[in-house]
Amino acid sequence: MKAPICNVCLKSDVLCSKCEEKLENEEITELDIKVSRVLKELSNEHGSLRDSEIVKAYDTENVVVIVTGPEDGAKVVGRKGEIVKKVADEVGKPIRVVEKVENDKDVINGLLSPGEIQSINTVFKPSGESQKIVVDEEFEDKINMTREDLEMIIQEITEEEYELAFE
Ligand SMILES: [Zn+2]
């Protein structure tokens, strides 16, 4: 399993000096560590997790978002969601899993589910161009994340600035 912390730290209760430094520099968070260790533990029972990659975990008001490597989402979700259910019990919030893939639209649609991108428009402003994602307003209450949280996570994963609007 590939994770934000090293293999030694995945199995240990303490951090090695290298991972400790990452934590101090805020390259990784306590949540990354917690989620990675829980999944590592679960990989004993669920073998498919062993060749998965955990990129990052984000805490939001209502859900924890786990970002996985491309094609690793289903491994982390598990059959009928059995793995994410166990992770949710450990972190105390429902889990949303999204794969970090090349195509920004796929990442964004993963985060917006059950909603999806209706259109992406370029907006011209004095400060420069930005991309505005329009999502049907009927999904606003179904996504379980605030617009601000979604924008933050989309920006973190895609490294592009997007604005989100429910219209
Ligand atoms: Zn380490």
Question: Where does the pLDDT of residue 129 fall: very low under 50, low under 70, confident under 90, or very high at 90 and above?
Answer: confident
What does CATH list as the number for 101-167? Answer: 3.30.300.20
How far apart are the CA of 10 and the centre of ligand 1, in A?
Answer: 7
Q: From 3.40.50.360, 3.10.150.10, 3.30.300.20, 1.20.58.220, which CATH number describes the 1-100 domain? A: 3.30.300.20
Domain segments of the chain as ranges: 1-100, 101-167
How far apart are the CA of 44 and the centre of ligand 1, in A?
Answer: 20
Q: pLDDT tens across 54-110, in order?
A: 999 999 999 999 999 999 999 999 999 999 999 999 999 999 999 999 999 999 999
Average pLDDT of the chain is 95
How far apart are the CA of 2 and the centre of ligand 1, in A?
Answer: 12
Residue 132: closest CA among 167, 166, 106, 165: 165
Do the first three CATH levels of 1-100 and 101-167 match, i.e. the same topology? yes
CB 65 within 8 A of CB 151: no
> Residue 37: left (phi > 0), alpha (psi -120 to 50), or beta?
alpha
Distance CA 117, CA 108 (A): 8
Distance CA 67, CA 87 (A): 14
- Position 84 scores a pLDDT of 97
